[in-house]
A and B are shown apart, each in its own frame.
Chain A
Amino acid sequence: MINRIEIYTKSDYEDVHGQEVLADITQLGIETVQAVQVLRVFLLEGNLDSETLQRIAREVLVDPVSELYCLGQSGAPAGLAQATIMEVHLKPGVTDPVAASTMMALADMGLELESVRTARKYVLLGGLSEKQKQLIAQRVLANDCIEEVIFGADAEIPLAHVAPYHLKISQIPIRELGEQELEELSGKKDLFLNVAEMRAIQDYYRKLNREPTDIELEMLAQTWSEHCVHKTFRGTIELVCADADGKTRTEVIDNLLKSTIARATSELNKDWCISVFEDNAGVIKFDEEYGICFKVETHNHPSAIEPYGGAATGIGGVIRDPMGTGLGAKPVANTDVFCFAPPDLKLQELPAGVLHPRRVMKGVVGGVRDYGNRMGIPTINGAVLFDERYLGNPLVYCGNVGLIPADKCFGSARSGNLIMVVGGRTGRDGIHGATFSSGEMTHEHETLFSHAVQIGNAITEKKTLDTLLTARDKGLYVAITDCGAGGLSSAVGEMGEKLGAVVDLDKVPLKYQGLSYTEIWISEAQERMVIAVPPEKLVQIQEIFDSEDVEATIIGKFTDDKKLVLRYQGQTVGELDMDFLHGGVPKYTRQARWQKLQLSEPEITEQADYTGDLKAILSSYNVASKEWVVRQYDHEVQGGSVVKPLVGLVNDGPGDASVIRPRLDSERAVAIGCGICPQYSDIDPYWMALAAIDEAVRNVVAVGADPGKIAILDNFCWGNCNKPDRLGSLVRAAQGCYDAAMAYGTPFISGKDSLNNEFQTDSGQTINIPGTLLISAMGIVTEAQKCVTMDAKEPGNVIVFVGETRDELGGSHFYKLHGQLGANVPRVDLQAGPKIIHAVAEAISDGLVRSCHDCSEGGLAVALAEMAFAGGLGMDVNLSGVPVGRDVGKNYQILFSESPSRLVLEVHPDDIGKLAKILRNVRFAEIGKVTDGIRLVIRNRGNHAVIDAEIADLKETWQKPLRW
């Protein structure tokens, strides 16, 4: 029989979860709910007397100080008729880690139960309509992919058992289909393949003289998806560039990746690059004994549908990239960059099928927090950006840095090796993730693709990691990769590309029965790694996994016939040639168009005072403090923190980049930073790309990275690149990447693109995101103790401006404030920029710089304000000395222009001479002093204050908007 125990919080303790739910309900616009109580429900199956149940509740389930328990169903609070009871249960078969832990705890007590299940019970006080109840259940309480909601105390709890699967091999006739029918088939099966690709598949099966099975077709669709093969970046592009006067010029680009991004890396040919663009993450040399690798991925579409789960599995997934690089790296840092619509959007302006941006943001931050923190990996760098166009299509970039022994940077499977899957079990979660992310989002995606969202369990991944590192160091496997997009299909398919493989799908451990062989093969269930194990090492490696309760199973072996054979219960259910699988995707030519936009500069009247403008920019969501996000991440676990994301007198100033010592026994460190400026992409994505690289490099150099050892990563998030204008802008950005990487000497070591970031509303309107390029930078820091931070340090010190301010307010925050876009986008000077970077790095290395801050969003005024309030010190600055370009005469230009390659330094007066020598080849000037006052005063040429404000006031303005 099933025994129910309910646990609830004592009335004199905060019901933290209840309050969270209440806040979310209010967010939905439902204001009649006054209170929410959350109860934990345990359903224990077995013959247990009441005394035993009491003991279980008392000793294991309840916190004796803060909670109470009830055997059986607890009643609704007396006197309040308007109580709604809802209970959230896991769907049949979904893994329940709490139940598993409870079983274990009960076994420790000597109690063997038949089963344990858990649920959450919500008691909502206040009047609600049926429709509202449904809305709350769906939007706040439950994740439809894995959970179901039952209403009322008497409702029957869902059955735990699911029907077993019976083998039925299904063939899909394709040989006789015409063009239109092929297209229909692709659409009907969510294959996201175009006609040319469907034809290639048809030809293949015509030659084989048979029809494909479902698993073969699914695997081809997955392997050939944009997400997996990056058809856009590797295909041929015909770019038509149109001048302002209508003259056009055509350029044919064969393989955009090879002709821009990867080309820069190969031409730079740095001897410290160990493995680039070939593994799950790019690896560079850290020191003589270790390499360090970095990978950044996006998880946009899943996060749009289910922000918490989507983001959690986004970070969980990217952590597995370094884990699956070479013979496996140890993850040492996470990064996260998010783009959302403004969080103050009115509810009635929300299109159908779209979650409110505030909810998306809270969910995404929560997902990254819970997964990253549980993995014990510090989340050290990131950014949060806002633009209306990210409404239906938020961007969630997650990155991971890993440390890898120098002799473990490469692995390769050999024929005869056993294929072992390690870690999580396979379930129905995440099916079609790769194909789903390769298509455009629509208002119906939320319902249609809910199964594409994976379910994460960080502890499973942590256990898996712990044991894999042990096995790695003992040399018990020869190759490793992660199960990411495409699941086992991709992992085994790629690892065995040059070999061939036989897989017995019925051997794969499942979360629950009922999965078909195809589902097993393409599931994107989380926390799974695939390794190639020499048969003679099997006993030893199995022992390691068993000793820490990690599941590891042999599912097949690598062969040498370059065929992939899939079997279920001994019967062949699919057979593909590796050559066709990996090389059969037809190359095709895409049309791209780039036309320079006809834009003009606005007329803005000079004002006498800009304090109000500065405050408006400081309080804009893009510039405002992200402390609410940063503090929720453990940014110090692993004990290597050197420069934290928040710095200054009271640890709350915005650091340029973070630094960690990944080896606790060494003073060598690594700086992690990023650059992202989609605001310039509306004017010209070429200059946006340059600005992003310049910013990323400047950020890591500003804290102390060696500019000669900076590697960068590209992550493109673009609209639908089947449309020539989107593709044209993508090409422009990629060309910018090449030019900037060459100029700065910063090779790309890895990257990823996510195309098709568009959203179609129910009224048929398409919202295209601004082309958004994230550049992540990893720079080696030779000596941790030479790092600097951005907060002003000491009254009397001199403020030095390095670089040149030009009339470049196009896309700037200042123009945005005035409702303008402008035309003069910031342009990186590829001659001067790298010189500035190297000179400033030398000054930092010589110990001449007390603080250093990059000058970017919001320009000089924002940079100075941030330095002042982070250091709790005043500043007195005069704009007359700032080196400017031609056409710069107005104060607002000097204050708010976002010209790149500029930094602000704080230097002790005694060191000015030495600094000047180092800066002799670049433009710089002393522009003011740090004071012991409480005001930031910025004066014009006539010595009149154009900005004058108390630093505490500026700081409050900056902190308030996102202090949730």
Chain B
Amino acid sequence: MAQVKVLVLRTAGTNCDMETCHAFSLAGAVTERVHVNRLIEQPSLLADFQVLALPGGFSYGDDIAAGKILANQLIHHFREQVQQFIDADKLVIGICNGFQVLVKAGLLGGLNEGGGADREVALQQVTITYNDSGKFEDRWVYLEAGTDKCVFINPGQRIYLPVAHGEGKVCFADEQVKQQVIEVGQVAYRYVDREGNFGDYPVNPNGSTDHIAGLCDSTGRVLGLMPHPERNVHPTHHPRWTREAVEKPDGLSLFINAVNYFG
């Protein structure tokens, strides 16, 4: 079997592309960093890959809103190709700013993600907004898997990853949307404490609704999350590696699962 090919999409202000590539290559994939301008020029490029990764950063400086401009580019220039990509049993992951892009492009968090063929633009029913703390924070959080249908996630696993964002609070348009998202198993991860209990700040670092840290789509092949799995793929990434034995870095499992999906 040929190596899994990952397209890591970057643009002005993307800044976690290198380490995202590194994490995928540790998992055995080959990666290519592709500037969004190339994809706009030639959307068919996407078809050569099995995984589309939208890494963290500040695409376009968070102008208008975090992830908004890149989401708009996706919608107007290559949404169809992304939809075909997903329909072709391939995988999409958005991390931090990439998650914001997926949500704002309507690819996550709606019950009609992707919009369907007849819609001009997918209806965005979920958003990611300012942390309750009002500030950017870098801190480590525990996450509990909230679904058993996402390709990237080991069901029932509790993992430890860092968050680093100022806008990570997931909010729903209304109670009904929230309930639906929960009921169909699209909550990918929830913030918990070390023992697995829910808690206020800083256990839930941004005040996210229902402690939600990440969402997946109805296929389980599109994942978006605020925490950074690519920052916990080496034994010395763990903030307490000098005092606790780290067997296998938690973040690596997401990338391995993605690659193994094609194995």
Contacts and interface: CB of A to CB of B under 8 A. Distances in A.
Interface of A: 13-14, 16, 19-20, 59-61, 63-66, 97-98, 100-102, 104-105, 108-110, 369, 373-376, 457-459, 462-463, 466, 547-549, 631-644, 646-649, 651, 661, 664-665, 784-785, 787-789, 791, 793, 851, 871
A892 B73 CA distance: 66
Nearest to A102: B64
Contact of A631 (B77, B139, B237, B243): B139
Nearest to A20: B134
A276 to B, nearest CB: 29
Task: List 3 A-B pairs, minimum CB-CB distance, nearest first.
Answer: A376-B15, A639-B19, A101-B63
A459 B136 contact: no
Contact of A64 (B10, B14, B37, B127): B127
Contacts of B138: 631-636
B130 A14 contact: yes
Contacts of B243: 648-649, 789, 791, 793, 871
B22 interface: yes
B171 interface: yes
A462 B64 contact: no
B154 interface: no
Contact of B15 (A462, A547, A548, A788): A462
Interface in B111-161: 121, 123-127, 129-130, 132, 134-140
A633 B135 CA distance: 10
B166 to A, nearest CB: 8
A14 B132 contact: yes
A654 to B, nearest CB: 14
Contact of B65 (A63, A457, A871): A63
Interface stretch (B44-52, B85-93, B226-234): B226-234
B162 A636 contact: yes
B127 A65 contact: yes
A413 to B, nearest CB: 28
A338 B162 CA distance: 26
Interface of B: 10, 12-16, 18-19, 22-23, 35, 37-38, 56-58, 60-61, 63-65, 68-69, 72-73, 75-77, 121, 123-127, 129-130, 132, 134-140, 162, 164, 171-173, 228, 230-231, 233-237, 239-240, 242-243
Contact of A462 (B12, B68, B75): B12
Contact of B240 (A97, A100, A649, A785): A649
A374 B61 contact: yes
A637 B15 contact: yes
A459 B121 CA distance: 28
B64 A16 contact: no
B12 A634 contact: no
A41 to B, nearest CB: 12
16 contacts: A63-B65, A65-B125, A66-B127, A97-B61, A101-B61, A457-B61, A458-B13, A459-B60, A462-B13, A547-B35, A547-B37, A639-B19, A646-B239, A649-B243, A784-B236, A851-B242
A140 to B, nearest CB: 16
Given A60-B64, A108-B73, A649-B243, A65 B18 contact: no
A20 B237 CA distance: 34
Contacts of A65: 124-127, 129, 171-173
Nearest to A547: B37
A253 B234 CA distance: 52
Given A664-B19, A785-B236, A105 B64 contact: yes
Contact of A97 (B63, B139, B230): B63
Contacts of B239: 644, 646-647, 651
A23 B132 CA distance: 15
A720 B180 CA distance: 68
B136 A369 contact: yes
B231 A60 contact: no
A278 to B, nearest CB: 29
A56 to B, nearest CB: 11
Contacts of A466: 10
Contact of A664 (B22, B56, B63, B73): B22
B230 A639 contact: yes
Nearest to B55: A376
In this complex, the member of A462, A638, A639 whose beta carbon has the largest number of chain B beta carbons within 10 angstroms is A639
B139 A651 contact: yes
A35 B12 CA distance: 36
A459 B61 contact: yes
Contacts of A643: 242
In this complex, the member of B22, B35, B130, B173 whose beta carbon has the largest number of chain A beta carbons within 10 angstroms is B130
Contacts of A636: 138, 162, 164, 228, 231, 237
Given A634-B164, A641-B231, A373 B22 contact: no
B129 A63 contact: yes
B138 to A, nearest CB: 5
Contacts of B63: 97-98, 100-102
A466 B10 CA distance: 10
Contacts of B22: 639, 664-665
A791 B239 CA distance: 12
B164 A105 contact: no
Given A66-B129, A376-B14, A784-B236, 10 more contacts: A16-B134, A59-B121, A60-B64, A458-B13, A549-B12, A632-B136, A636-B162, A647-B239, A648-B240, A789-B243
A649 B242 CA distance: 10
A13 B171 contact: yes
Nearest to A40: B64
B54 to A, nearest CB: 15
A634 B136 contact: yes
Contacts of B173: 64-65
Contacts of A648: 240, 243
Nearest to B165: A634
Nearest to B170: A65
Contacts of B64: 60-61, 98, 101-102, 105
A376 B123 CA distance: 31
B149 to A, nearest CB: 24
Nearest to A638: B19
B242 A108 contact: no
A640 B234 CA distance: 9
A643 B236 CA distance: 8
Nearest to B177: A65
A459 B13 contact: yes
A638 B18 CA distance: 7
B141 to A, nearest CB: 11
B245 to A, nearest CB: 12
B46 to A, nearest CB: 18
B126 to A, nearest CB: 7
Nearest to B164: A634
Contacts of A100: 63
B136 A664 contact: no
A101 B37 CA distance: 14
B58 A459 contact: yes
A549 B13 CA distance: 12
Contacts of A373: 58, 136, 164
A793 B245 CA distance: 12
A105 B18 contact: no
Nearest to A635: B138
A102 B57 CA distance: 19
Given A374-B58, A649-B240, A101 B69 contact: yes
Contacts of A791: 242-243
A794 to B, nearest CB: 8
A651 B140 contact: yes
Contacts of B130: 14, 16
In this complex, the member of A16, A61, A644 whose beta carbon has the largest number of chain B beta carbons within 10 angstroms is A16
Contacts of A664: 18-19, 22, 234
Nearest to A23: B134
Nearest to A42: B64
Contacts of B12: 459, 462-463, 548-549
A374 B134 contact: no
Contact of A104 (B13, B69, B127): B69
Given A97-B63, A549-B37, A651-B239, A108 B72 contact: yes
